[in-house]
Amino acid sequence: MTKKSFTLLLSSLLTFSMLTAACGNSNNGNEAAATKDPGTSGGNTTTAATKEPAPEPEKPTEIKIMLPLNTAETPPDTIKTELEKLTNTKLTYQFFPADTYEEKLNSSFATGSLPQVTYLKNQTTFVQMREAIKDGQFWEIGPLLSEFPNLNKLKPEILNNTKVDGKLYSLYIGRPLARQGIIYRKDWADKLGLQAPANLDELFAMAQAFTEKDPDGNGKKDTIGIVDRNELVYGAYKTVSAWFGTPNTWGEKDGQLAPDFTFPQYIDTMDFFKKLRDGGYMNKDFAATSKTDAVNMFVSGKAGLYIGGSMQDIDTLNKDLIKNFPDAVLDTHSMVAGPDGKFAQWMIPGYNNVVLFPKSAVKDEAELKLILGFFDKMMTPEVSNLMYWGIEGTHYTVEDGKAKPTDNKELIEREVKGYKDSVIGEAETNGMYLSYNVLPGRIHAEELILENVKVGVADPTAALDSATYTSKGVELQQIITDATYNYIYGQLDKAGFEKEVEAWKSRGGAAIIEEYNAVYKK
Amino acid sequence: MQDVTAQPGTVSKLKPKRYKSSSELKKRLWRNKYLYVMLIPGILFFVLFKYLPMYGLIISFQDYKPYQGITGSEWVGMEHFKRLFTEPDFIKILGNTLILFAMNILLYFPVPIILALMLNELRGTFFKRFFQTLVYLPHFMSWVIIVSITYVMVTMDGGIINELLSYFGFEQVNFLLNPGWFRPMYILQIIWREAGWGTIIYLASIAAIDPGLYEAARMDGAGRMRQIWHITLPAIRSVIITLLILKIGSVLDLGFEHVYLMLNSMNRNVAEIIDTYVYTAGLRQGQFSYSTAIGFFKSIIGLIMVMSVNKLSKKMGEEGVY
């Protein structure tokens, strides 16, 4: 009897694992994904679809919106109901998990079922969509913006970064241009009599002191300076490299655009990290360390400096750190002078994501204007606060003219987060509340983020197009990433690194340089 | 079957066994109706998830654009295959894939058999059950967890193994980033995770062996080792061969997730395999046609391997899988 039921259990387990394996395997399972959608998007899709489009202007505009969801569950209608009242709309939100959003985007696109308002996932999906945009699949909105007073406030320099072939097709979700910097153990620095590093030598000295001078005072040499992870862009590397004066991804050299790794400052940065690693002043396995492991090392008191990412991370780092060390004090810092005494910070193009309006769903310009009208209202303080912070009194309170989120983080996560990531513009343009911070390090971080922009270095290729980059860029960049790590770990010397750069050029890099320069001149 | 066609006379002898009329066939079908109903999910599964997606292979000969669809995209012939074969790293990637595969067959495949034989020799139901459960468990952990556990154990930044090494005065070893350690760690992780689970089928077929054979052998004075060698192993021989053929069918499926999690910039030379290459070169950049072409190439190699091994096993007098 027991044997029989065991076999049954076993066979059902096997069947189940086969099924899951099949789902995971099907790279070309677009059809399968597409058929699944109606279920995921819930019942409200059908109810909205069956209603006739509104003939009279007083009737609410019906808009279908597809966007990535960064939480586990679809939010309830609390925010949506308020939003509809404020904007006179009938909204249908289709949330899809951010992890698989690209697949969803591609399959909806392939089947022509994108809704009127389509959020992409990030810059990368935007670059991939460029070809389709050029192909005329989406509405151009540039000439219409001036008709909308609030949308017209969007920052022109960021709008410029989202243009395709010089035309504007999208609205952007704003992010601070340069959030990166150092989060460090101020209590350790104070104990050793150190100031926040003013230049790269002092940064190195601090990493060294944190490693060798027993900052936690337990009599053991069990701490390190910098903790980094397997990520050259959002880890410590790119931030430090900007301090050295390396251009942001691409820079001008003899009047021509050239990639950052062909600049001598890039080599200087590699030498800096090589010295750090050889001396044991950073985690030895950083090339294989995940973000989670890096964060764990920091909050468990093993490391004193966390560089890169966002200085706003100080809130979460602090929360976990003081659980282990109630006396620990964190602070942020970002102004580290390069060898020539100059400050520099690399900048992102100022947006996190964009919204597109597919021609397959938006019939004519009149409909497009109705939809843009909704976004125009979204850019008022009233609506953007509702979407970003939630309902006043329930999800946040106002203190000193700033929003202070409630302590019930789960409530915000469940009801507000889904909408938060879709707010167009940023506080400067849509007038929503800034966040009310209590942690001194975080307040300092917000000041530094504003300072960073003053010495910010932009990526000149952000709005440029290169066919070779679109098809092979990621693959080619891998060559350089690998070579950089190999150099830092002493497996490659300078000549070896340059050989890899030549390999990059011969396998398509030369074409990328040529294509970028051809459009750059224009 | 060959005999049947060779001698026409036998055909007529066989005839009575076939169904004389369609009514008899119907009756037969009706009698086994539940078995046929149970067949339906299986057929549906293969049609939906295995045969229909094959339609998508078309895009490996196209310059596939999602908004133009399969019908609207431009045909480019073998271009994507040419790109793959002329890729400077192609030989290296194929080589890495084949080496990991060979290690799988040589080092991993025998382990469940040996383990099953060992478990079978355990006396006492409690111990047997206990050890069986113990070796099954790792199978239910995801690769993410297994790779993370490995990281925590072997990292040079306070990992227990390196701490022990330096405690006993040895030099620390860079397990994670040294290309030389990738393959041993890969195969050890597979053995740890899968060996126990792999014993299930062997144990089941061992359980089906007639106990009388063992009694007879004992009467003749055969020891434990003799019994294993002359009774147990020959009895599960066909199971071993069937599983080997199936294993070879997935020749280039080495577990994307597992390798991808272990892969880093320092060990890429030995760790990049076809699956991870498909991910970086194809999917991460939205090159659907190219990645489909690579997947297609992989499946063809798998098919050729299965067919040849199947033939070989038939020649050796064993049953194949088809």
pLDDT at B18: 60
Q: Are A416 and A390 in contact (CB under 8 A)?
A: yes
- Farthest CA pair distance, chain B: 84
Q: Is residue B110 within 8 Å of residue B191, measured between CB atoms?
A: no
For A177, the token pair is: 């241009």
pLDDT digits (tens, 9 = 90+) for B243-257: 888 888 776 677 788
Q: What is the mean pLDDT of residues A54-68?
A: 79
| B interface with A, Cβ–Cβ below 8 Å | 45, 48-50, 52-53, 56-57, 59, 65-67, 69, 88, 148, 151-152, 155-158, 174, 176-177, 200, 264-266, 268, 278, 280-281, 283-288, 291-292, 295
A84 compared with B69, residue with greater pLDDT: A84
Q: Under DSSP, is residue A452 helix (H, G, I), strand (E, B) or coil?
A: helix
- Best residue in A4, A20, A223, A285 to probe B by mutation, most B CBs within 10 Å? A285
pLDDT digits (tens, 9 = 90+) for B154-167: 998 888 999 999 89
Confidence of residue A11 (pLDDT cuts 50, 70, 90): very low
Residues 6+ apart with CB under 8 A from A503: A479, B88
Alpha carbon B58 to its chain's center: 26
Q: What local confidence, expressed as pLDDT, does residue A33 receive?
A: 37
CA neighbours closer than 13 Å in the CB half-sphere of residue B291:
21
**Most confident option among A32-36, A48-52, A420-424:** A420-424
Which candidate from A26, A132, A474 shows the least CB-CB separation from B284? A474
Check: CB of residue A305 under 8 Å from CB of residue A226. yes
Judge whether residue A95 has pLDDT over 80: yes
Order across the sheet with A303-307: list the strands.
A224-227, A303-307, A182-185, A330-333
Q: Is the pLDDT of residue A228 over 90?
A: yes
- What are A352's two structure tokens? 């996190």
Go through A322-355 and write b for each residue having 16 or more CB atoms within 10 A of its CB, e for each that does not. eeeeeebbbbbbbbbbbeeeebbbbbbbbbbbbb
B292 chain-A contacts, CB cut-off 8 A:
27-28
Name the residue among A31, A132, A491 with its Cβ closest to that of B52.
A31
Residues A304-323 have pLDDT tens digits of 999 988 999 998 899 899 99
User: Helix H segments across B50-178?
Assistant: 69-72, 79-86, 90-103, 110-121, 125-136, 143-154, 160-167
Higher pLDDT, B69 or B20: B69
pLDDT tens, residue by residue, A166-221: 899 999 999 989 999 999 999 999 999 999 999 999 999 999 999 999 999 888 88
Which residue shows structure tokens 């996932």? A121
Interface subset of A 493-522, CB within 8 angstroms of B: 503, 507
**β-strand pairing of A224-227 with A250-253:** unpaired
The model's pTM is: 0.79
A 181-240 → B contacts, CB under 8 A: 222, 224, 230
User: Which residues lie across from B302 on neighbouring strands?
Assistant: none
The answer, yes or no, to whether residue A399 has pLDDT greater than 60, is: yes
Give Cβ neighbours of residue A351 (< 8 Å, ≥ 6 apart): A123, A158, A161, A162, A172, A173, A174, A175
- What mean pLDDT is reported for chain A? 87
Report chain B residues whose CB lies below 8 A from the CB of A297: 157
Cα–Cα distance measured from residue A424 to residue A351, given in angstroms and rounded to the nearest whole number: 10
Q: Which residues of chain A from 430 to 489 reach within 8 Å of chain B, CB to CB?
A: 470-475, 478, 481-482, 484-486, 489
pLDDT of residue B108: 93
- Alpha carbons A250 and A261: distance in angstroms, whole number: 9
Question: Does any CB of chain B come closer than 8 Å to the CB of residue A416?
Answer: no
Separation CA A81–CA A90 (nearest Å): 9
- Closest residue by Cα to residue A449 from A348, A338, A327: A348
Closest by CA position to B83, among listed B281, B254, B221, B304 = B281
What's residue B300's pLDDT? 87
Bridge pairing between strands A303-307 and A224-227: parallel
Nearest residue to B309 (alpha-carbon basis) of B241, B253, B239, B254: B241
A468: nearest CA in chain B?
B285
Give per-residue pLDDT as tens, B76-87.
Answer: 888 889 988 988
Place of tokens 């900007």: A242
- Is the confidence at residue B116, as pLDDT, over 90? yes
* End-to-end Cα separation, chain B, in angstroms: 14
User: Angle B79-86/B288-315 helices, nearest 10 degrees?
Assistant: 80
**Residues of chain A found within 8 Å of residue B83, distances taken between Cβ atoms:** none
Using alpha carbons, list the distances in angstroms from residue B196 to A78, B41, B251.
50, 29, 21
Contacts of B152 in chain A (CB under 8 A): 293
Of B57, B176, B292, the CB nearest to A288: B176
Closest CA to A402 of A381, A377, A380: A381
> What integer is the mean pLDDT of A41-48?
40
Quote the pLDDT of residue A57: 53
User: Which token pair is A100?
Assistant: 């698989």
Contact call for A489 and B177, based on CB within 8 A: yes
**Alpha carbon of B311 to those of A472, B193, B236, B238: distances in Å?**
41, 31, 20, 14
The whole-number pLDDT of residue B157 equals: 87
Quote the longest CA-to-CA distance of chain A: 82
- Contact between A429 and A153 (Cβ < 8 Å): yes
Of A110, A293, A474, the CB nearest to B151: A293
Check pLDDT > 60 for residue B59: yes
What average pLDDT does chain B have? 85
Residue B245: what pLDDT? Answer: 84
Question: Does the pLDDT of residue A83 top 90, yes or no?
Answer: yes
Find the mean pLDDT for residues A370-389: 95
pLDDT reading at B65 higher than 80: no
DSSP one-letter string for A62-87: EEEEEEEE-SSS---SHHHHHHHHHH
Backbone angles phi, psi at A250, to 5 degrees: -135, 150
For the stretch A464-518, pLDDT in tens is: 888 888 888 888 999 999 999 999 999 999 999 999 999 999 999 999 999 999 9
Please state, as a whole number, how many other Cβ atoms lie within 10 Å of the Cβ of residue A74.
Answer: 17
Test B157 with A284 for CB contact under 8 angstroms.
Answer: yes
Tokens of B206: 């061992």
**DSSP-assigned beta bridge partners for residue A307:** A182
User: Cβ(A136)–Cβ(A358) under 8 Å?
Assistant: no
Band of the pLDDT at B13, cuts 50, 70, 90? very low
Instruction: Judge whether residue A36 has pLDDT over 60.
Output: no
The stretch B211-221 carries a mean pLDDT of: 91
Nearest to A428 by CA among A189, A174, A162, A163: A174
Q: For residue A1, is pLDDT > 50?
A: no
User: Does position B122 have pLDDT exceeding 80, yes or no?
Assistant: yes
Q: Is the pLDDT of residue B275 over 70?
A: yes
For A61, other C-beta atoms within 10 Å of its C-beta total 19
d(CA A374, CA A371): 5
Partner-chain residue, chosen from B158, B281, B291, that has the shortest CB–CB distance to A302: B158
Give pLDDT, residue A9. Answer: 45
Q: Which of A118-132, A259-273, B37-51 has the lowest mean pLDDT?
A: A118-132
Confidence band for A31, pLDDT divided at 50, 70 and 90: very low
